[in-house]
Amino acid sequence: MEFLYLKSLHIIFVITWFAGLFYIVRLFIYHTEAESKSSPEKEILQKQYKLMSKRLWYIITWPSAILATGFAIWMLVQNPAYLTMSWMLIKIGFVGLLILYHLVCQRIYSQLQNDIIKSSSFKLRMFNEVATILLFAIVFLVVLKSTINWIWGVVGIVAVGLLLMGGIQLYKKVRIKNEEE
């Protein structure tokens, strides 16, 4: 019974962690796009995006990441047999990539808080899709669990990733066309 409570809490905090990761990159995009605005609009927008980012990052995203990871470790301690299952080891690998993604977001967050803009909004839109691909990979892996299904899942994830990237490219072209009109 206790395991099911841990699992429920783990899932809840994974959801809030991903919500924070999805939204923080959107705020990065808006912050970056505000750079092209004229004064005082630029300063007002960037100040607001800094505040929104700070609250999201430290009140929702970081705590969710820590709690999701903590509950996952707690479940693994209770059931160490999971560590012998290939699907779980692959999942842990994807979670490692998710943590790396989170740390890259931390770096971008810190740069923007210090008025350092190193990425275009287009690059940030592409970067935003990495979390989507990781979400698909982790969920399909946990649900399907078998190696053969996992291989098909990866093929599907690559296809989804290519579709997302194509959609972003199309969005960029439409947006540029609309701005020219």
pLDDT the model gives residue 147: 60
* 125 vs 66, higher pLDDT: 66
Residue 32 reports pLDDT greater than 90: yes
User: pTM of the full predicted structure?
Assistant: 0.84
- Tell me the HSE value of 3 on the side-chain side, using a 13 A CA sphere: 6
CA-based radius of gyration for the chain: 19
pLDDT, tens digit, 9 for 90 and up, residues 67-100: 999 999 999 999 999 999 988 998 999 999 999 9
The pLDDT assigned to 1 comes to 67
Q: Determine phi and psi for 23, rounding to 5 degrees.
A: -75, -35
Q: Where are the domains positioned within the chain? A: 2-180
Cα distance between residue 4 and residue 112, in whole Å? 40
Report the C-alpha gap between 113 and 73 in whole angstroms. Answer: 32
Q: Known binding site: residues?
A: 10, 91
* Binding-site residue set for heme: 10, 91
Which two tokens mark 148? 């053969």
The answer, yes or no, to whether residue 139 has pLDDT greater than 80, is yes
Inform me whether the pLDDT recorded for 172 exceeds 80: no
Q: Is the pLDDT of residue 66 over 70?
A: yes
Q: Between these two residues, 105 and 168, which has the higher pLDDT value?
A: 105
